[in-house]
A and B are shown apart, each in its own frame.
Chain A
C-alpha cells in the first residue's frame, strides 16, 4: 500500500482511473448513489451555511468561513478515503454519500474564486493572493494529514490509553 493509503492498489485500471466517489469504470451509477449524493449534499450545504453564520466575518477581510470549511472538509475526506481504501469492497454508496455529497458540498471552490476576485476588485490584491495560497497549501496538507491519520487507524490511536 502507498505511504498515505490513498492508492488502494497499484496497476489496477479501475483504481487508477477512479474518481473520488469511486470509478465509473466499475459500472453505471445506480439511482441509490445519486440519492446518497443528494442527501449528503443537503447536509453539506446546511453545515457550511451554519458555519458561515457562526463565524461571520465582514467584507474586505480574510474569508475565514470558506477557509475553515474547505480545510476541515479536506482533512476529513483524506481520513475517510484512507480508511475506505483499507477495505476490500468498493463501498460506492458510502463513498457517494460522504465524499461526493457531504464533503463535496461542504467544501466549495466557487466561493474561493468569487471571494478572490472580489478582494482583487476591492484593491486588496495581497490579501487575495494570501487567501488563495493559504487555502491551497493548508487544504493539501489537510488531506495528507487526514489520510495519514486514517491509515494508521484513528480507532487505534483512541484506544492506546
Chain B
C-alpha cells in the first residue's frame, strides 16, 4: 500500500516538472541561435531522466540500494518525468509535415542521448 502512495507522490512531482522544463527549453531564446529544429525540450527531459534512472539502477546493482527505493524514484519519478508518447507524437508530426529528415534526427538523437545517459549514470554509480 505504501509503495502506491509514494509512487503517486513521485508522479505528482515528476509530471509537472517535465512540463515546466519542456516549456523552459522550448521557449529559450538560445534555441533559435543554436539552430535546433527538433523538439529540444522533450529530448532534454528524456536524457536527464535517463541519466537519473541509470544512476539509480547502478546504485541497486553496485551499492546495494533497495529495489523498493528504485521503484519509487526510478519507475515513479523518472518514469513520470520522461515520456515516450510525447516523443512519438512529435516524431510522427514531423513525418506528417513532410519532414522525414527531422523525424529521423529526432529518433536518433533521443535514442542516442537516452541510452548514453543511462549508461553514464550506471557507470557513475559503480565508481562511488
Contacts and interface: CB of A to CB of B under 8 A. Distances in A.
Interface of A: 2-4, 6-7, 17, 19-21, 24-25, 29, 33-34, 37-46, 48-49, 52, 70, 73-74, 76-78, 81, 96, 99-101, 103-114, 116-118, 120-121, 132, 135-136, 139-140, 142-144, 147
B96 A3 contact: yes
Contact of A109 (B3, B91, B114, B119): B114
B79 A143 contact: no
A26 to B, nearest CB: 11
9 contacts: A7-B93, A19-B26, A41-B11, A42-B8, A77-B88, A78-B89, A101-B15, A112-B114, A121-B122
Interface of B: 3-4, 7-8, 10-16, 18-20, 22-23, 26-27, 39, 41, 46, 49-50, 52-54, 57, 71, 74-76, 78-93, 95-97, 107, 110-111, 114-115, 117-119, 122
A41 B15 contact: yes
B74 A74 contact: no
B111 A114 contact: no
Contacts of B52: 110
Given A45-B76, A108-B82, A136-B111, A143 B88 contact: yes
Contacts of B46: 109-110, 113
Contacts of B74: 110-111, 114
Given A41-B11, A81-B89, A142-B88, A113 B54 contact: yes
Contact of A45 (B7, B86, B92, B97): B7
